[in-house]
Structure 1
Amino acid sequence: MSSYRIALNFEDGVTRFVDCRAGEKLLDAAYRSQINLPMDCSDGVCGTCKCRSETGTYDLGDDYIEDALSPDEAAARLVLTCQMRPTSDGVVSVPTRSSVCKTAQQKLVTTVTRVTPHGDAAVVLELQVEDNGRPQFLPGQYINLDVPGTGASRSYSFTNAPGGNHLGFLIRKLPSGLMSNWLTHAKPGDRVTATGPLGSVYLRDTDRPLLFLAGGTGLAPFLSMLEVLADNPSRQPVHLVYGVTRDEDLVLVDVLESYADHLPQFTFTTVVADKGSRHPRTGWVTDHMPAGLPSGETDVYLCGPPPMVDAVRSWLNDRAITPNSFHYEKFTPNLALKESA
């Protein structure tokens, strides 16, 4: 029997996946996975189970009343999970915290397979999930990694596509960083516990031009997205602006060049903020935005430190440019903090 994988995104950032059998209502599939989505009547009458379908196709039938779900709400992809029967894989946003639904983040036990330093700028950490587990996440999401021996955790975006048991992370080197210090002596076979996935910034359906804006190690989620796009090429143009502070901070450019060679719709621009740089493009990401960016026609994804995110938002507002959709994530070094929108 065929089934569809549905990602349930809760408002606290937790994501859980359920397999929904063909013809099965999403509410029933969630309960079968011991996730108690909000509900009251389960008959399409009260509207308590109302959520939003972000991606994917589905059948709502006509066994619900308009007081529970109006035509305007249905047109805006609001759904009643007690009536929704998915007809493809998809993502559904649940307007409540995961704890209310008696579910929680998933924990993974992993082992280090490789630690690759990139000068004093960053480290690529590669992990393998024990017992050949294949963690589920959406391209662009992140996970919390425990820093062994400290009792603390840090949040890092996946650099790989979902579906495998190997995980990759691009981690900024910080002189006093807990993870940075541990990575100096980490070796293959060391265990790392991970909790997640989390995050509301993930690759949606690519039916419009895509603009990716990365600051420093904010490049990581775009590597995950590009790996997915490499397997399912977009017919729409995809452009990445990758900005860093120093020349030494430009890492994994060879990986981007490889994607550009294999994805005819993908182009990228690198930018260095240091005015003394010998790089051909200096300044901020906002100094090198694509010319003629049309309002309402582009999906924009942004990941970087808070000043960069605020600068891009101001740049768009000052020019009255409203993206078709705008997904951004701020990250703060040394803190297990990521803010998404």
Structure 2
Amino acid sequence: MSIGLNNVALNFEDGVTRFIACRPGETVADASYRLGINIPLDCRDGACGTCRVHCESGRFDPGHYIEDALSDEEAAQGYGLACQMRPETDLVLAVAASSEVCKTRAAALKGRVASVRRLSDTTFGLSVETEEPVGFLPGQYVNIAVPGSAQARSYSFSSAPGSARAEFLIRNIPGGLMSTFLSEGAREGDDLDLTGPSGSFYLREIRRPVLMLAGGTGLAPFLSMLGKLAETGSDQPIHLVYGVTHDADLVETDALEDAAAKIPGFSFETCVASSESRHPKRGYVTEHLADAHLHGGDVDTYLCGPPAMVDAVRRTFAERALSPASFHFEKFAASGAGGVA
């Protein structure tokens, strides 16, 4: 990105994210239309309010508008008008429309297999080399077409945005399309078609303590978030609880140790559910939610894991009469279809 440009992530209601670059002094609306993304717009004078968006991260000059278009209360909540707002930093904006309505779609990306690592009997590490660094928000996923089939699978990035290679954690499912390709057919240099990024599960601007809960390969998006935080830092405590079923399922703990060394205030613990485990901490993630990391509810909670884990965490919060300041979650299906796996 050239000096003077601000990168803006437009998150649409259908989960598609597109990135635009705003030139100095350029409004978000002007930059969007210049790149062929037709966000809702009925005027360019700050009078109708049609282009109202919500800023989830970053700062901007709100420009000029009338109160009928945007109230003081809405402005205080982080809303702005795309036809008037000029980014002062990189932004993440929620657009109240689908990508289809805005005449755009998820980006089609070309990649090649750089390496396939067998991290355990249950997990592959896939490294993909792309023509240029892929833009995404830490925590988001991409759809990868399975070579030799007409199907695609969705996987969260485990690498930080802007990395030279895109990294993924992929569960080894016996007989699964992607698992079979990775274990039997994948070769360095094989072409891959990717579509994305997508998803509303991503790291927001950190304003309070953060609790991260990962189940199995649901660790992937957190590795991406931690990679970003290693670059930007944080002045809030961040704690991760990572749970798996069997001892052999624990992977990438060295990456977590590295993150703990680089990110002030970050800590983590691991647990294993199997009763036959020899791990120091046994049981489910819900059994290892210490009061010290819940901050009486003044905590932003991020959870990625199978549906049963998401439901169990919700029940645990209800039983403890705890309502986190925010609760962001991603469920994934075993097949990887229709969700993140």
Aligning the two structures, in what range does the TM-score lie when normalised by the shorter sequence? over 0.9
2:198 aligns with 198
Q: Does 1:121 align with 2:119?
A: no
Whether 2:122 is the aligned partner of 1:140: answer no
Q: Which of residues 9, 12, 18 is equivalent to 2:11?
A: 9
Q: CA deviation at 1:164?
A: 2.9
The Cα of 1:165 is off from its aligned counterpart by 3.3
For the Cα contact (< 8 Å) 1:144–1:336, is it kept in 2? no
Q: Aligned residue for 1:183?
A: 182
Instruction: Report the CA distance between 1:70 and its aligned residue.
Output: 1.0
Write out per-residue CA displacement over residues 245-270 of structure 1, whole angstroms, 9 at most, x where no aligned residue.
Answer: 11111111122122223333211110
How far residue 136 of structure 1 moved from its aligned partner, in angstroms, is 0.5
Q: 1:25-83 CA deviation, whole Å, 9 max, x = no partner?
A: 1110100111000011221111111111111101113x311111111111111111111
In structure 2, the gaps of 5 or more residues are none
Which residue in the other structure is 2:337 paired with? 336
Q: Give 1:21 deviation, angstroms.
A: 1.6
Matches within 5 A, 1:129-278: 129-130=130-131, 133-185=132-184, 186-278=186-278
Query: TM-score, normalization: structure 1?
Result: 0.95
Q: Distance in 1 between matches of 2:100 and 2:28?
A: 19
Q: Deviations over 1:129-182 (max 9, x none)?
A: 03xx12110111100000001110000000111113311000000012110001
CA distance in 1, matches of 2:87, 2:337: 35
Aligned to 2:87: 86
Q: For residue 307 of structure 1, give the secondary structure of its aligned residue in structure 2.
A: helix
How far off is 1:295 after superposition?
A: 3.5
Hey, what does 1:314 align to over in structure 2?
315
Aligned mates of 1:36, 1:149 — CA distance in 2 = 35
Q: What corresponds to 2:326 in structure 1?
A: 325
Cα deviation per residue 1:181-200 (whole Å; 9 max; x = unaligned)? Answer: 01012110111110000011
Following the alignment from structure 1 to structure 2, what is the Cα–Cα distance between the partners of residues 230 and 70? 37
Which runs of structure 2 are paired with 1:95-110 in the superposition (5 Å)? Answer: 95-110=96-111
Assess if the C-alpha contact under 8 Å between 1:160 and 1:167 holds in 2.
yes
CA distance in 1, matches of 2:83, 2:258: 45
Contact 2:235/2:264, CA 8 A, preserved across alignment: no
How far is 1:336 from its partner?
A: 2.2
**2-structure distance, mates of 1:5, 1:264:** 26
CA spacing shift, 1:264–1:88, aligned 2, 3 Å = closer
1:59 aligned to 2:61?
yes
Specify the SS of the correspondent of 1:235.
Answer: coil
Partner of 1:50: 52
Contact 1:141 1:198 in 2 (8 A): yes
CA distance change for structure 1 residues 263 and 154 in 2, over 3 Å: closer, same or farther? same
1:62-114: CA deviations, max 9, x gaps? x3111111111111111111111111101000111101000011111111111
Distance 1:332 1:300 in 2: 21
Q: How many residues align?
A: 336
Kept in 2, the 8 Å contact 1:294–1:321? The answer is: no
The Cα offsets for residues 113-139 of structure 1, whole Å up to 9 and x where unpaired, read as 110012311000001003xx1211011
CA contact (8 A) 2:234 2:264 kept: no
Deviation larger for 162-171 or 6-15: 162-171
Q: 1:234: how far off?
A: 1.3
Return the alpha-carbon distance in structure 2 between the equivalents of residues 43 and 72 of structure 1: 20
In the alignment, the residues of structure 1 paired with residue 79 and residue 192 of structure 2 have an alpha-carbon distance, to the nearest angstrom, of 39
Local SS of the residue matching 1:338: coil
CA distance in 2, matches of 1:205, 1:156: 23
Query: C-alpha distance in 2, partners of 1:324/1:85?
Result: 29
Q: Is the 8 A contact 1:158 1:168 kept in 2?
A: yes
Distance between the aligned counterparts of 1:115 and 1:22, measured in 2? 42
Alignment RMSD, CA only? 1.3
Displacement over 2 Å in runs of 4+: 261-264
Q: Percent identity among equivalent residues? A: 53
Amino acid in structure 1 at the alignment position of 2:215: G
Q: Distance in 2 between matches of 1:318 and 1:45?
A: 47
Structure-2-length-normalised TM-score: 0.95
Tell me how far 1:296 sits from its aligned partner.
Answer: 4.1
CA contact (8 A) 2:120 2:251 kept: no
Distance 1:220 1:157 in 2: 6
CA contact (8 A) 2:139 2:201 kept: yes
